[in-house]
Structures are given as C-alpha cells and as structure tokens.
Structure 1
Amino acid sequence: MPFPALTDIALRLERTALPQHVPLAAQTRDGVVESVHYGSVIAVSAEGAGTRTLLTAGDPLAPFYPRSALKPLQAVAMVRAGLDLPADLLALTAASHSGAAMHRDGAARILQLHGLTPGSLETSADLPYGVREREAWLRDGGSPTRLAQNCSGKHASMAATCVINGWPVQGYLDPSHPLQKLVAETVRELTGEEPAGVSTDGCGTPLFALTLRGMARAFGRLASAGVHTFAPPADGAEAAVADAMRRHPEMVGGGGRDVTNLMRLAPGLLAKDGFEGVQLVGLPDGRAIALKISDGGDRARMPVTIRALEALDVDTAPLAAIATQAVLGGGRAVGLLQPTDFLSATTPAPEAPEGQP
C-alpha cells in the first residue's frame, strides 16, 4: 500500500495543469534526433519600477520551484540582517558547492567566526556533490557530513545570522522563525511576486513557487546593483552578494562546474543554477535570463542559456567551449546537443504593470 501522504500528492498532481513547455534543445546522432529537452525561458530588462519582456518561449509565467537559484536572494536577506563576511565566504553563502576542501573549510570558518560548530547546522548530512570531489572523499574513507553537503555555506550563514541578531539558532529552518520570515519578505520584494506555493527544499529550507519572470527580475536587480544609476535604487546587500559571486565563482560551484565556468569566461555575468534544470543569469545593465528545463536534467541548461545570451547581443564567443556538447560514438563525435530555434516561435509574455515583474 502506498503511504497516505504520497497518495495525496499523486491525487493533487492529476488535477494540476501541466506547464506548456516547448522544445528548447535537441541531441542528434548522425542526423537523427535522439533526445529532445522541453522547457521555458524568458529574458527581461528593467523598465522604470517594472520590467519589460525581451524574449520568451514556452510558459514563463507557470509557477515553478527555483530550488538553489534562490540562494543569492536568501543571501541578500542575510546581509540585510547584518551578516558581514569576506567575499569568498559570502559567495559560499549563495553556493551549491561541489564539496571541495575550500568549500568545507569555508563553511567551517563561517561557523567558527560566530562561535558555532557543525552540529549547529540543520541541513542533512551528505557526500560532496561534485563527482571528482565525491570520489576523492570516498577513497579517503569519508562518509556523509553536514559540511560536505552542497548547501552547507548557506546553512552556516543562516545560523550565523541568528547569532548576530540574537535569534534562536535551533529551529532556524522553521518558516515562522524570524530569519525565514525575513527571507520570505526579501524574495517577495526582489521578485515582485507573491509565491504561488511554499514547500521544503532538499536541504530543508523553505522553498517558494515563483515564475521565471519574477526570478529574472530579481537577478537583473542583483546584477545591476551599484553598477548603473538608471537601475532600481542600489541596495548594498544586493551589490555585495553579486560582487562576491563574480569575484569568487569557484565558491559558487567548483572546478568543472558550468556555473563557475560561465562567470569565469564572461566576466560581469551573475549566474546561479538550481536542481531540476534551473538556470538564472543577470547582466550588469539589469537584463536577465531565467530558464527551466522541464525534465529536470542539467545538460541542456548551457546550450539554451548561451542561445538566449546571443539573442540579447551578448558576445558569446568566449563561451564556445561550454555552449554545446559533442555526442560520441566509438570515441568520435557523431552528433551534437544544441538549442532548437526556439526564438523563432516565441510569443511575448504579458507586460507587467508598473512596479510589478
């Protein structure tokens, strides 16, 4: 017999309208389409107090869970609450790190600076997320720990923010905790949206259902903070988080991670990935891209992202190495993973009212 809770979830799913995603990327093998990745994408720019849609494909107004792409917004909330860290540790606060020594040590440093220990973390124990890091960890006899878990930087900073404000550290993940109330308020402000739903992320933090347009608005605001006077009023916390991530992309992801490579190869871009095929990119001029691959896979994120950047007239030549993937047969290239011509069939999303995303 299924668990009652799972039965309830299945019944709700049957009544839920599926997002109207479109083909965004396809893999070919010797001229035959082998796989198709559906999804939705949007690009926006700042327009006064609101936003203007620049390109769209699929269903960018369908609610979705941004997963770890929320971390930069959560970091903004913590900085506003007094979190003051060196740039590398602030970047780790917004990271889904690979679990290398620099990441584990960085999370431990955040805790030590505030009189805390790994036992203060309320995330689950896990192995390092990065393949090379996980293999090395296991070869050395490592087992799952809270510091190795890919969200440990965020959790360490959440516990630290509680210490700074005199809030209880225990229970900091509870949606009613002052920290999580502040995070929720910050997410609403930056996205301009009221969440369509609330859930729990894999690491235990509250998770909000938003739209791609709202998330793009937030990343455009972060990426332009402190850069241009015509952008929304610069917020020191937003500028601090964006600057830290750009200066330390290796802390945001890790060696070989596409989000790290994207920021290294195109200085000025602000990028964050999220589980289940989510990618956000912000530009210093306030434009931003948000996309969701419907099958939750990672491999289509970069081809689609870079195609969208091309459409915004961003020079993507430095990104050629991560723009696509060769399909191998017997050790030689026999096909390609590449974006479809999704921009030729796009329909604009409704423009947002003044002051809305």
Structure 2
Amino acid sequence: MIEVWRGGLLESYHAGHAVICDDKGEVIEAWGDPGAVVYPRSSAKMLQALPLIETGAADAFGLKEAQLAFACASHIGQGFHVKMAEAWVKGLGLSEADLRCGAHEPSDKIERDRLIAAGERPCQFHNNCSGKHSGFLTVTKHLGAGPEYVEIDHPLQKAIVQAMAEVTGEEAAGWGVDGCSAPNFALTVAGMARAMGRFAGASGEGDARDRAMFRLASAMRAFPEMVSGDTGADTELMRAMDGRVALKGGAEAYHIAIIPELKRGIALKIVDGGARASDAVMVALLVRLGVLDANHPAAKKRLNAVQKNWRGIETGVLKLAEGFL
C-alpha cells in the first residue's frame, strides 16, 4: 500500500488490508484480505462506549458531549485531558485509584515538562485511555457492579461483547489484554468496517442503538481535540475536514473512519504495525472519497510527504505504492 523511496530506490514498504462499507454493512471496496482477523485496539473505542449510553449511565450522570468524545479518545495527555479525567472520576465520587488503566508519561511535551519541573510523577489520569476508563467507571457505578471492570466476566465487558457482535455482525474470534488492561476483541477488518458504516448511517432518530451511535460519532466530530490532542493525527485530520468525519487510530497501525455524509465506514490495518503507513492510507482513502483536500497541510504531512534529515536536506518520499488505488 505504501512505499518509502530514498535516492531513487525503494527502501521500505508497508502491506495491509482496507475495507469500505455502506450503512447497510455491505462491502463497497476492499484491498488485501477483508477477512483478516486482527485486534482493532483503540479503533474500537466507540464500540466499547456503546454501553455508556445504552445503559442510561451517560444521562444519569449528566455527561456532556465533550465527555462522550473523551470516552472514545486515545489522548496525548495535554493538561485539559488530565483535568477532564480527574474531574469526571471525582464527579462519580471515586478517585484515581479506582481506575484500572495504569500510569504512564504523557506524550504531550508541555505536560511532561511540567511534571518534571514540579517533581511530580504521572498518574492514571495521564494514561491515553483515561477517557475510556472514566466511561467504564461510569457504567460500573450506574450498574452497581464490582470494581474490577476490566475482567472479562464483568457485566460491563459482557455488555461490550454483545454490542460489538451486534454492530459488527460477527462474534469475536478471541480476545487479548490491551495496553490499558481492558480486553480487546479480535474481529475481521470487514466486520469493523461494517460497524463503522452503521455508525455513519445513524440518524439519531431511530432505536436506542441508532441514537447511541449517532451521539458518539457526533461528539467525536464536534470535539476532535478530545479524541487525540492538538498534535494528534486524528485531531489534525478531523479539523482539516471541518468535523465532517470521525477518525480513530489504534495501536499497531489500525485506523477507522466514520463518514456520515456519504454513509460510509472505513477500517484498515497495516500488517507490520507502522502507524506512518496507516495514516497515509487513511488520507488516501479520504481523498479518494472526496471528503479531504489532498493539498491540505494535514494531508500533505502524511501522504506524498517529503522526508528530510536533521539538516533539512530532502532524502526521500513516502507515497502510495504503484497500483494501489
């Protein structure tokens, strides 16, 4: 799908799978193997957030639209991300210790440097999945369930498994433990694209599932900074499309798109896990579908991007492989 050239020679390439589905779940276009079974990782967060709305937990605790977007986030730990996670959890009458995502240094350099200067250690609010876990805690408290909400037999995880099966149209092929300790369920790329197509077709005027999908995708498009952060690929690209599309990347080069105006959903996986390639392929598909300007800086930064060294000398280019698209 993607090639990297240096000095007129092919240096590296990235293979992958990609599927575009409509709102009925039908495959419109596909590349690679649509039936490839892989973990969608954080690209599945809007599926994992369905019980947050469908159980009534979001409304019971008066969650705002920005919080719904944050529940689908893989953020970089900017100050406003950390503050939202902290306020959300404390608003539930809980504490940072109730989270089960673990602590890590924030990707945001400003917040990282602030912690160092203050002699502070990062906490679980800095975790890039703290928004998802804040949503998990909200459902857990609403259901009166036990505190170990990341265990596979917890009522929350059972609700997630059921919702995912219904929206993707398939049973999970298996599960593994994600970086944030929550279960992640293996699905076909086509199944994820089918789910994204259904999110794209949600009107907000149908049944409970339709309304939940509509609210989550709308929140992501309205608050792109909550989804990844000001320097994140998802945020930059959603802003480039003026909030017309919801994007969500996942670890190991998974990526999805929800395009309401076209009622199309995209799922893609780069086999070697290279995120530079998943970003480039997503840009190419969005341009192909007419929702992203190929000349926008956010697009040019990721596709047909000139590679430069530390002295600013042009060394090569990252581009689509010949014959792909």
Q: TM-score, normalised by structure 2?
A: 0.90
Does the 8 A contact of 1:198 with 1:207 survive in 2?
yes
Residue in 2 aligned with 1:116? Answer: 94
Structure 2: distance between partners of 1:342 and 1:76: 38
* Separation (CA, whole Å) in 2 of partners of 1:314 and 1:111: 36
Whole-angstrom CA distance in 1 between matches of 2:276 and 2:205 = 34
Per the TM alignment, residue 314 of structure 1 is displaced from its structure 2 partner at its CA by 3.5
Aligned to 2:314: 333
Task: Return structure 1 stretches of 4+ with deviation > 6 angstroms.
Answer: none
* Displacement of 1:114: 1.3
- Residue 253 of structure 2 is matched in structure 1 by 277
> Map of 1:1-357 to 2, 5 A cutoff?
24-47=1-24, 51-84=25-58, 85-131=63-109, 133-168=111-146, 170-226=147-203, 235-266=210-241, 267-284=243-260, 285-317=262-294, 318=296, 319-324=298-303, 325-329=305-309, 330-343=311-324
Residue 311 (structure 1) shift = 3.0
Q: Greater CA deviation, 335-344 or 68-77?
A: 335-344
State the distance in 1 between where 2:99 and 2:178 align. Answer: 15
Q: Which amino acid aligns with 1:72?
A: M
Separation in structure 1 between the aligned mates of residue 98 and residue 233 of structure 2, nearest angstrom: 31
**Does the 8 Å CA contact 2:82/2:126 hold for their aligned counterparts?**
yes
* Alpha-carbon shift at residue 129 of structure 1 (Å): 3.1
| Aligned CA-pair RMSD | 2.0
Q: Is the Cα contact below 8 Å between 2:50 and 2:213 reproduced in 1? A: yes
| Unmatched segments (≥5 aa) in structure 1 | 1-23, 345-357
Alpha-carbon distance, 1:177 to partner: 1.0
Q: Deviations over 1:44-69 (max 9, x none)?
A: 1134xxx2222222122110000111
AA aligned opposite 2:234:
V
Does the 8 A contact of 1:271 with 1:279 survive in 2? Answer: yes
The one-letter amino acid paired with 2:11 is E
Structure 1 residue 235, shift from structure 2 partner: 1.5
Secondary structure of the 2:237 match is: helix
**1:223 CA displacement:** 2.6
Separation in structure 2 between the aligned mates of residue 315 and residue 160 of structure 1, nearest angstrom? 35
Distance 1:192 1:342 in 2: 31
Question: Equivalents in 2 of 1:167, 1:26: separation in Å?
Answer: 49
What letter matches 1:96 in structure 2?
Answer: S
Give secondary structure in 1 for the equivalent of 2:275.
Answer: coil
Deviation of the 1:315 alpha carbon: 4.3
Q: Which moved more, 1:302-311 or 1:316-325?
A: 316-325
1:98 and 1:133 in contact (8 A); partners too = no
- Percent pairwise identity: 36
What is the distance in 1 between the residues matched to 2:28 and 2:52? 31
Give the superposition deviation at 1:26. 0.8
The answer on whether the counterparts of 1:60 and 1:211 sit within 8 Å (CA) in structure 2 is: yes
**Counterpart-to-counterpart distance in 1, 2:87 and 2:108:** 21
Alpha-carbon offset, residue 192 of structure 1:
0.9
In structure 1, what is the Cα distance between the partners aligned to 2:117 and 2:264? 44
Equivalents in 1 of 2:323, 2:67: separation in Å?
Answer: 38
**Cα distance 1:234–1:151, how it changes in 2: closer, same or farther (>3 A)?**
closer
> AA paired with 1:320?
A
Q: Secondary structure at the match of 2:115?
A: helix
User: Post-superposition shift, 1:100?
Assistant: 0.9
Residues in 1 aligned to 2:117 and 2:249: alpha-carbon distance in whole angstroms: 28
Structure 1 residue 309: Cα displacement: 2.2
**Cα distance change, pair 233–306 in 1 and its aligned pair in 2 (3 A):** farther
SS at match of 1:327: strand
Is 2:52–2:135's contact at 8 Å kept on the other side of the alignment? Answer: yes
Q: Give the C-alpha shift of residue 341 in structure 1.
A: 3.3
Q: Secondary structure at the match of 1:210?
A: strand
Change (3 A) 1:148 1:234: closer
1:160-183 deviations in whole A, cap 9, x for unaligned? 211112222x11111111111001
The unaligned stretches of length 5 or more in structure 2 are none
